Chains A and B, each alone.
Chain A
Amino acid sequence: MSNTPAIDIHNLTASYERKPVLWEIDCQFPQGKLVGIVGPNGSGKTTLLKNIMGLMKPDSGYVRIFGDKLNSVRHRVSYVPQRETVDWDFPADVMDVVLMGRYNPKKLFNRITQEDRDIAVEALKRVNMLEFSRRHISQLSGGQQQRVFIARSLAQQADLYLMDEPFVGVDAASEDAILSLLTEMKNSGKTVVIVHHDLQTAFEYFDHIALLNTRLVACGPTEEVFTSDLLQEAYGGRLTVLSRIGELIAKKDFPIREKGQENN
């Protein structure tokens, strides 16, 4: 593994309709590490990923990936957008979505080969979702949907993975599964960059952290970044149960209130 940073961000400023949401971001992420981009909601984490992935043009500054321009290393990079940004009602089952990771941007009349299928099956195994491969994606829990997204990304067989909030709305079992997979990926030499908004878990999860709040608060190895526990107070606890029960109500068509209330 070389010493070139996996991602090198140079004085990057980015804005929406001329209103800057990222100011002069300058930091490097080393290869072969689990990296966290951490900050509260609205701090520009997603915007930073979009700039890294070339989905937005920065006002100034630039990004190098493995020391190169994105276009020459695109096939080595895989991006997992935030789960809520896609329509999970789309007519596709789990296997269909994972196979999307095998589509080739360079070809017309794209065909799916047996090799592609094998790779997709392997990816599903790694996220423990193989038994669901013919399930429609709307019938999965939030955590399972996230794992499908990660499997699609694995199927791209990249060296650098960027995931936007993969732990949001995810049950404890999925969280554990995802986390151990990320560690496994790291151990096989991949670089994984995770957008995350929970500071408390960030300390446990990541080797390297960029603390973001419109500007770069800190960037470096986790122990160095976590010098002030004041930072922790800026964040509240998590209420994942709420979002999951909301999911169940919608899926099972349950009434919010029971007919004819009685006392307990």
Chain B
Amino acid sequence: MGSIWSYFNEPNFWWVLMGTAFLSAVASLVGTFTYLQRKSLMGDAIAHGILPGIAGGFLLAGEKNTLIIMIGAILWGILTVASIQWITKRTKLQPSSAMAIVLSSYFGLGMMLLTVVQSSGLPDASGVNAFLFGQAASILPEDLRVYSIFAVVVIVSLAAIYRPLTLLTFDRASAESRGFRVDQLDGVLSVLVVTATAIGIQSIGLILMAALLITPAAIARMWNTRLIGMLITSGIVAAIAAAGGTIISFSAPSMPTGPWIVVVLFAFTVVSVALSPHRGLIHRLRRRQNNQRIIRKENLIKRLYHHWESNQSTTVDDELLRESPEYSSDLLRRCAREGWLKKQGGQWEILPAGMREGRRITRAHRLWELYLSKKLRLKDDHVHPSAEIMEHLISEDIEEELLRTLGYPESDPHQRNIPYES
């Protein structure tokens, strides 16, 4: 019936779909370590730098021979890493500058070679563009076999050095001091990044390969607090993105795959930034609101405590409370629920728990003022603003430490009494 979905019935489609998903997942596992070592830029430099290897492999083989192109890409990728290291070591250039220089030089050289390939009249010469932006639909089962063998080698190598690499990434000095061969591990990881990049050239294309190395890791970090979970998540995210790109590539074969994979990844990123449980915007917004609520509540009870300090009365007119900036009936209700306050007629009574709380906050405030004034030698009229916020933060053990440091003082810099529980 000629629908654009007809390729669902082709076995080749399913092979390519699963293949690109697998290759992308493998690349993202290696990328996770690159990301955690803050070497994202290195991934980009490698991805661009291998172009001469691809074009050279094509010219050498005289046709689109995937194995030879892969080997060319990997060798040139290793040369790229070595060149960057050599420049960084021999000159005073920053690593990022060295990467930029090598990336652009090798990419330029690669583009020249690519022009030679295209005008060479070799079979499939027009297809080399697929390596720039990726074209999943052009992948044949035999290509997939070559890429997959390399991908399996990458996974096995990564499994072999998984724990040393983890330790190295977290705490390099400790790893080195224990006799882990950190230089060798660095070398192996570089070769793995190069290989992971090379296996994605046809499905994603080298220009956007860095996105596949890094973005799934960044997304996974937002949802995980342990490395193992992060690896699983980034593998799944990369696989889904690659599958999405492949489907689009088959629906519209003229469209490159890489950009679509990046679009899917971007959507994941946006959702994660908004919703992630610890780092997401929504979570942080809610936490800030919560903080503000605690601050208002504690300010109210502190105000009531000060009322008691000046009048020795535990009852306050509702009228009087209305004048305070944080007044709201909702806030009062919440204080009542804490067991701090009780309403009787037009009056609020401060309960013992409320007194205790008010006393605690007042004490924290005045201790902090005293600390700033005594230990940091701040002027006495400058210590109040800081204490306004610290009173809400000072926990029991910090209070204890303040008390000890200050020697259980009687009064604050403004000669007000520091109230203790009797």
Give chain A's interface residues, CB within 8 Å of chain B: 50, 53-55, 71, 74-75, 77-81, 85-87, 90-93, 96-97, 100, 103, 105-106, 108-110, 136, 156, 171-173, 237, 239-242, 244-245, 248-249, 252-264
The reply to whether the CB of B313 lies closer than 8 angstroms to some CB of chain A is: no
**B158, chain A: closest CB distance, angstroms:** 11
Query: A263 — which chain B residues lie within 8 A by C-beta?
Result: 384
Main secondary structure, interface of A, reads: loop
- Is there contact, CB below 8 Å, between B365 and A264? yes
Range class of the B interface residue count: 35 or more
Binary interface encoding of chain B residues 160-195 relative to chain A, with 1 for a CB under 8 A from any of its CBs, else 0: 111110110111011011111100000000000000
**A69, chain B: closest CB distance, angstroms:** 12
Known A90-B36, A105-B164, A171-B401; contact A100-B227, beta-carbon cutoff 8 A: no
The reply to whether the CB of B11 lies closer than 8 angstroms to some CB of chain A is: no
Known A92-B226, A241-B405, A261-B385; contact A254-B170, beta-carbon cutoff 8 A: no
The reply to whether the CB of B349 lies closer than 8 angstroms to some CB of chain A is: no
Query: A110 — which chain B residues lie within 8 A by C-beta?
Result: 162-164
**A58, chain B: closest CB distance, angstroms:** 15
Query: B397 — which chain A residues lie within 8 A by C-beta?
Result: 171-173
Docked CA distance A235–B175 (Å) = 33
Query: A91 — which chain B residues lie within 8 A by C-beta?
Result: 36, 221, 224-227, 229-230
**A260, chain B: closest CB distance, angstroms:** 6
- Is there contact, CB below 8 Å, between B405 and A71? no
Of A93, A106, A108, the residue contacting B160 (CB under 8 A) is A108
Query: A257 — which chain B residues lie within 8 A by C-beta?
Result: 385-386, 388-389
Interface-lining segment among B66-74, B146-154, B240-248, B283-291: B283-291
A-B contact pairs, 21 of them (CB 8 A): A55-B176, A74-B179, A78-B178, A85-B171, A86-B170, A86-B171, A91-B226, A103-B164, A108-B160, A109-B159, A110-B163, A237-B375, A239-B375, A241-B398, A245-B390, A248-B393, A253-B288, A256-B389, A259-B292, A264-B306, A264-B387
**A252, chain B: closest CB distance, angstroms:** 7
Binary interface encoding of chain B residues 370-402 relative to chain A, with 1 for a CB under 8 A from any of its CBs, else 0: 010001100000001111111011110110111
Docked CA distance A244–B368 (Å) = 13
Of A81, A106, A237, A242, the residue contacting B174 (CB under 8 A) is A81
- Is there contact, CB below 8 Å, between B164 and A79? no
Of A54, A74, A109, A245, the residue contacting B398 (CB under 8 A) is A245
- Is there contact, CB below 8 Å, between B226 and A258? no
- Is there contact, CB below 8 Å, between B393 and A245? yes
Docked CA distance A87–B284 (Å) = 22
Known A96-B226, A136-B225, A241-B405; contact A262-B325, beta-carbon cutoff 8 A: yes
Query: A172 — which chain B residues lie within 8 A by C-beta?
Result: 397, 400-401, 404
- Is there contact, CB below 8 Å, between A55 and B161? no
**B121, chain A: closest CB distance, angstroms:** 48
- Is there contact, CB below 8 Å, between B170 and A97? yes
